[in-house]
Amino acid sequence: MTRAVSVTRVRTALLCTSAAVLVAELLLIRWIPANVVYVGFFNNLILIASFLGIGVGVLLGRRFRSYAGYGPVALLLVVAAVHVAQLNVVPGDADVWLGHRQGSQIEPSMLVIGVIVALATATMALVALPLGPLLRMLPPLEAYALDIAGAIAGVLLFSALSFLSTPPVVWTAALALLLAAAALARGIGRRDLIGGIAMICVIGLGLAELQQGDRYSPYYRITLYRPDDGMEHIAVNGIGHQALARVDAPLPFYHQVYEWFPGRTFDRALIIGAGTGNDAAVALAHGVRHVDAVEIDPVIQAIGKERHPERPYSDPRVVPIVADGRAHLRTTSSTYDLIVFAQTDSLTLVANTANLRLESFLFTEEAFADARARLRPGGVMVLYNQYREPWLISRYVSMAERAFGPGALVRTYPQIAGTRSAVIAVGREGLPPVAGADRWSTADAPRPATDDWPFTYLRTPGIVPSYLVTLLGVIAFAGVLVGAAGRAVGSQAAEPHFFLLGAAFLLLETRSLATFGLLFGTTWYVNALVIGAILVSVLLAVGVSARVRLRDARPLYAALFGALGVAYVVDPGALLFEPAWLRYVVASSIAFAPIFLANLVFARAFREVAEADVAFGWNLLGAVCGGALEYLALITGYRHLLVVVAVIYLGAAVLAGRRPRVTPLPAEASA
């Protein structure tokens, strides 16, 4: 084999391996919380485990790269652990917080969470094992560019599979093809054959799961079931979500706003969180002449079109819209007589708090102000749900009155399944007292949710003990693994500079995702576009760094701190203007300027490393710490995360000035 062909195979193997790593990471992030109910309440835990696994895999690649074929074996253990433990439950009723098995509540098990995190880490470590040696076979910047290009390909592939609402067996098949291509480029060994057999078993289990009839939307595992009430119900990720009910069957709060104003006809209505169509069917029954039914999940809406007994989506008066509710409020030119915030609770009251939920920016002070702007004179906004806690009702009433003025109408239904269900209504010009409605005291209302602190279901800013204990456990686990990996490969070298760069960049990416979720909606494709754009900016930074060699890093750090300052000063709410293309250009410039400059800082430092695999591994381990620091947003809000980012980059700048300059010769590439 000639050297040129050898280098080609190395490049091909690096591209395919990087793509496989991204697909495996996204597969675990999507599939595990969809089947292990309470892992979904620690949403970024699998992301942190993935970064940890990749970092450890890169470090261990020097000595154990031949074990890369065992990645599918670890994935098979993950699948088996979920299925054997029977954690992918289907509830028997819709009022479940954490899912249940045979009528009894499932409580979060730290043991199960620990096992799942360990197996996910092992899976990602084994899949990433070839990355270390491959990175060392090429000049650092070329290797890094190829790694990012492979990551972009992985994001695009998984995004396409999500767009098509494919089941996990298809995701697994795509991962199998990438792993096979990478193995062929490296040269297939005995362990790759064992891994191939394991992957066949994983695909077989996926086909068996497919026979259960579950559907996978871009957000959920969706299960249709029929309990004793005779109606079809939907469960998402094993938790009861909604029923497909006839007009006379839904809970009473669906009808309440129409009963408060008898004889009044609402000409045009907007329903946010329209689901399978219950709210639209009730609106039509009460004489609403036109309904814009906005639902973020295309599969849930499709089920409503296919199976709802009232067929509301077949009525010409109803316009089904698949979109983020807040984004629709901002971008529509329509005005309405009635705006309904339907049961938009994406899971349950106690779902994950550190990451954005689908409705995070829907229940904020600014969102209620957007709704008021879309109401016609005399228009009404109404919210209803099974809120479960009086303080949550107080928060919503307080926020609604701050946007609309005092005089909200409230009715609670404590008799519904023992919950504190409620209807809250406010009017564009206020509402007079009506029979059957109360004025709710907001004297003890918690802090209002805002676009910067959109944690509606968190009563007060803070990190709850269960999250804190879990995060500390993961960080301790990471420390043990890193120490063991260093001893295993005979290296105790540490790269604190790259560790800090990884931690700061993960926080910067988190803030960017939050900003774009606010500006364009918290949909899966917005996240995919942002992640793809971030990776493209990394690739551009590598290209610039390869052509422009700065001897001094201080100008780059100065520009980075300036860009962070601009992003801190400019309120994302000020960017909510039309047209959308101009909003995107301005928002992208402000959000991606620090990301681009941060990558220039990284690329300049990475170009000069003597051991690319060690630097890259420590950078990923820093991302683990950054994932844990993301929970600071629960206290500070997203804007102040930029202060934390700046402090970490300041530490990296100090360490950069103390690093010896090393310009390594390109390593000889061999198959």
Tell me the average pLDDT across 401-409: 93
Q: Which of 168, 197, 163, 164 is nearest to 180 (CA)?
A: 197
Residue 454 clears pLDDT 60, i.e. is over it: yes
> What are the structure tokens assigned to 165, written together?
């609402």
Does residue 455 form part of some domain?
Answer: no
Residue 368 clears pLDDT 50, i.e. is over it: yes
Q: Tell me, what's the pLDDT at 559? A: 95
Tell me the average pLDDT across 315-331: 93
Do residues 265 and 384 both lie within one domain?
Answer: yes
Q: Label residue 103 by pLDDT band (50, 70, 90).
A: very low
Do residues 326 and 409 both lie within one domain?
Answer: yes
Q: Tell me, what's the pLDDT at 87? A: 57
Q: Tell me, what's the pLDDT at 63? A: 80
Q: Tell me, what's the pLDDT at 561? A: 96
Do residues 196 and 249 both lie within one domain?
Answer: no
Does residue 416 form part of some domain?
Answer: yes
Q: Tell me, what's the pLDDT at 109? A: 64
Tell me the average pLDDT across 181-193: 79
Tell me the average pLDDT across 161-173: 89
Q: Tell me, what's the pLDDT at 328? A: 92
Do the Cβ atoms of 359 and 346 come closer than 8 Å? yes
Locus of tokens 């479940």:
96
Full domain range(s) for residue 499: 3-214+460-658
CA atoms within a 13 Å half-sphere pointing along the CA-CB vector of 85: 19
Do residues 496 and 481 both lie within one domain?
Answer: yes
3-state secondary structure 284-305: HHCCCCEEEEEECCHHHHHHHH
Do residues 422 and 275 both lie within one domain?
Answer: yes
Q: Tell me, what's the pLDDT at 517? A: 81
Q: Lowest-pLDDT range, 187-196, 255-264, 546-555, 568-577?
A: 187-196
Residue 523 clears pLDDT 70, i.e. is over it: yes
Q: Lowest-pLDDT range, 160-174, 424-438, 472-486, 643-657?
A: 472-486
Please enumerate in sequence order all residues whose Cβ is within 8 A of that of 326, keeping only pairs 6 or more positions apart, or say none.
361, 362, 367, 370, 518, 521, 522
Does residue 440 form part of some domain?
Answer: no
> Residue 604 CA to chain centroid, in angstroms?
30
From 384, 412, 427, the end of a domain falls on 427
Does residue 433 form part of some domain?
Answer: no
**CATH number reported for the structural domain that contains residue 300 in this entry:** 3.40.50.150
At 190, the amino acid letter reads: R
Locus of tokens 């250009």:
585
Residue scoring higher pLDDT (235 or 210): 235
From 427, 451, 477, the end of a domain falls on 427
Q: Label residue 230 by pLDDT band (50, 70, 90).
A: confident
Q: Lowest-pLDDT range, 169-173, 203-207, 440-444?
A: 203-207
Q: Lowest-pLDDT range, 352-356, 394-398, 566-570?
A: 352-356
- What separation in angstroms does the CA of 447 have from each of 397, 442, 522? 12, 11, 23
Q: Tell me, what's the pLDDT at 653? A: 92
**Cβ-based neighbour number of residue 309 at 10 Å:** 14
Q: Label residue 19 by pLDDT band (50, 70, 90).
A: very high
Do residues 465 and 565 both lie within one domain?
Answer: yes
Burial state string for 528-565 with b = 16 or more CB within 10 A and e = fewer than 16: bbbbebbbebbbbbbeebeeeeeeebeebbebbbebbe
CA atoms within a 13 Å half-sphere pointing along the CA-CB vector of 248: 0
Q: Tell me, what's the pLDDT at 417? A: 55
Q: Label residue 453 by pLDDT band (50, 70, 90).
A: very high
Helix (H) or strand (E) holding 142: helix 140-163
Do residues 236 and 119 both lie within one domain?
Answer: no
Residue 483 clears pLDDT 90, i.e. is over it: no
> What are the structure tokens assigned to 264, written together?
């009044």
pLDDT tens, position by position, 254-283: 899 999 998 888 999 999 999 999 999 999
Do residues 499 and 564 both lie within one domain?
Answer: yes
Residue scoring higher pLDDT (346 or 414): 414
Residue scoring higher pLDDT (561 or 38): 561
Q: Which of 429, 277, 299 is nearest to 34 (CA)?
A: 299
Does residue 307 form part of some domain?
Answer: yes
Q: Tell me, what's the pLDDT at 646? A: 96
Q: Label residue 340 by pLDDT band (50, 70, 90).
A: very high
Helix segments in 36-109, DSSP class H: 45-64, 71-85
Q: Label residue 314 by pLDDT band (50, 70, 90).
A: very high
Q: Lowest-pLDDT range, 82-86, 188-192, 255-259, 366-370?
A: 82-86
Q: Label residue 17 by pLDDT band (50, 70, 90).
A: very high
Residue 662 clears pLDDT 50, i.e. is over it: no
Residue scoring higher pLDDT (671 or 599): 599
Residue scoring higher pLDDT (627 or 337): 337
Q: Tell me, what's the pLDDT at 670? A: 31
DSSP-derived secondary structure for 175-235: HHHHHHHHHHHH---HHHHHHHHHHHHHHHHHHHHHTTT-EE-SS-EEEEE--TTSSEEEE
Does residue 434 form part of some domain?
Answer: no
Do residues 297 and 154 both lie within one domain?
Answer: no
Highest mean predicted confidence (pLDDT) among 357-366, 425-434, 460-469, 603-612: 425-434
At 230, the amino acid letter reads: G
Work out the mean pLDDT of the chain and round it to a whole number.
83
Residue 293 clears pLDDT 70, i.e. is over it: yes
Q: Tell me, what's the pLDDT at 334? A: 95
Q: Label residue 239 by pLDDT band (50, 70, 90).
A: confident
Q: Label residue 447 by pLDDT band (50, 70, 90).
A: very high
Q: Lowest-pLDDT range, 150-164, 398-412, 605-619?
A: 605-619
Locus of tokens 């089947």:
35
- What separation in angstroms does the CA of 226 have from each of 96, 231, 309? 15, 6, 14
**CATH number reported for the structural domain that contains residue 466 in this entry:** 1.20.1250
Does residue 283 form part of some domain?
Answer: yes
Q: How many structural domains comprise the chain?
A: 2
Q: Tell me, what's the pLDDT at 106? A: 46
Do residues 195 and 232 both lie within one domain?
Answer: no
Q: Which of 397, 318, 341, 92 is nearest to 226 (CA)?
A: 92
Tell me the average pLDDT across 554-567: 93
Tell me the average pLDDT across 448-473: 85
Whole-structure pTM value: 0.86
Separation between Cα atoms, residue 558 and residue 65, nearest integer Å: 40
Residue 98 clears pLDDT 70, i.e. is over it: no
Residue scoring higher pLDDT (524 or 301): 301
* Cα maximum dimension of the chain: 87
Residue 379 clears pLDDT 70, i.e. is over it: yes
Do residues 188 and 95 both lie within one domain?
Answer: yes
Do residues 196 and 326 both lie within one domain?
Answer: no
Does residue 436 form part of some domain?
Answer: no
Tell me the average pLDDT across 431-447: 87
Tell me the average pLDDT across 245-258: 85
Q: Tell me, what's the pLDDT at 307? A: 95
Q: Label residue 535 by pLDDT band (50, 70, 90).
A: confident
